Each structure stands twice: as structure tokens, then as C-alpha cells.
Amino acid sequence: MPKLSPRARARKIKLLLFDVDGVLTDGKLFFPPLPGVHETGSVEVKGFHAHDGTAIFLARQAGIKTGLITKRVSETVALRARDLKLDFVRQGIQGKRAALEAIIKEAGLSPDEAAFVGDDIIDLPAMRLGGLAIAVHNARTEVKKEAHYVTPHSGGEGALRDAVEYILKAQGKWKTAVAGYIGD
């Protein structure tokens, strides 16, 4: 059977899942001391790019479900996920492939209809399962080698937006999604 091109794979996508640290953020973690806020006396702080937030809305406009799978547990991530109205949020996950399998089943889809965006080796099992594996520009070399598509921007700098644009343009839904977003 012929190998599918990345664009052919993107045309099938109905579910887009992604890692957080290094994909939705630049991977840096900040723990400023804030007495009384948390039992450790600090709170986890992360920076998110506005372009990625727009990407989630555009994906939703085009009928693509979105979500995150991350090893860390963070109230900051939970807050951002609620703000973005993500369909699936899985924190504290060591086995990302199993989590992706469960989400695909819950969504009533097949693996070839799912894309996963990652940056490090912990993401490889999920990337290997889905129909479209996406690595961010600053992903580890091993991850880029297994990706079907590598974003032009780094994690935390609009990489998720790149992934959504790539998928929606392959599906011919980009202009309609943008028009719905800006009200034209």
C-alpha cells in the first residue's frame, strides 16, 4: 500500500491533541515563591501564545476537536484549558499513547483521524499512534525524524497555530474558519 503524504494524512484529521510544555509553551517552568498559595509555597507559571489560542478557536470552527495530554499536573494548564474550551484535558499522564487511545475511542474516531503535536521523546508513542505526527520546530531530533510535519515556529511561539493552519489548509477549511473567526 502506498505511503500517505503528510497533506493526505492532514485531510483525515478530526481530533488534534498536543503536549503542553514545549508545545503550548516554550518549555520553561517558573516557580516563584508565593507563601500561602500552595503547600510548597510556590505556584507554577507558564506563558502561552495568543496565536495558539486563536488556533484552537479556528479548529473548533472547522469541526476539529482539541485537547491536551501532559505528564505534569498544573492548575495553570487547567485554567488555560478551560479558557480555550478544550474538549479533552488529561494531566498527570505518563503513558500518552494509552491516553490518546482512550480519547480516540471516547470521540468515536479511528487513530488515522487523530493528530498529535509533540516536542520530546515522551510524546513519541502518541505521535506514532495517530494518523498525523507533528513536531514543533524546536523539538528534539528524534521527534522531528518521526514527524510527518514540523512546524515553522517553536513551541510557545505559535507552533500549535502552524499545526492547525496546516491541517485546515489541507482540508480546504482555512478560509471559512478565518471568515467565521473575524466575522466576514
DSSP label at 9? H
Tens-digit pLDDT profile for residues 106-137? 999 999 999 999 999 999 999 999 999 999 99
> Taking a C-beta distance cutoff of 8 angstroms, is the pair 160, 19 a contact?
no
- What phi and psi, each to the nearest 5 degrees, are found at residue 83? -60, -40
Kindly tell me if the per-residue pLDDT of 143 is higher than 80: yes
Tell me how far apart the alpha carbons of residues 23 and 119 are, in angstroms, rounded to a whole number.
6
Residue 43: per-residue pLDDT: 74
- Could you give the domains of the chain? 6-182 (3.40.50.1000)
Report the relative pairing of strands 15-18 and 149-150 from DSSP bridges.
unpaired
Lowest mean pLDDT among 43-52, 117-126, 139-148: 43-52
pTM assigned to the model: 0.92
Tens-digit pLDDT profile for residues 69-93? 999 999 899 999 999 999 999 999 9
Tell me how far apart the alpha carbons of residues 149 and 115 are, in angstroms, rounded to a whole number.
11
